[in-house]
Amino acid sequence: DSDSSDSKFKIHNWLTTHSVTGIYSRPLVRASDGNLFLVFVDRIESTANAEIYLTRSDNNGNTWQTPIALMNVDRPNAVTPVIDINSTSGLHVFWVDSNNTQTDVHYRSCPAGSVNCMSLSNWSNDLNLTADNNNSINPVVAISSDNNLHLAWSTSPNGQGRAWYMQCAANC
Instruction: Per-residue pLDDT tens, the chain, 172 aa: give them.
Output: 334 444 445 444 334 433 444 444 578 999 888 999 999 888 666 556 778 889 999 999 999 999 998 886 666 678 889 999 988 889 999 998 887 778 899 999 998 766 789 999 999 998 888 887 778 888 989 998 888 888 988 887 777 778 888 888 866 7
pLDDT at residue 64, as a whole number: 93
27 and 12 Cβ atoms separated by less than 8 Å: no
Residues 6+ apart with CB under 8 A from 135: 102, 103, 155, 156, 157
What's the whole-model pTM score? 0.81
pLDDT at residue 8, as a whole number: 47
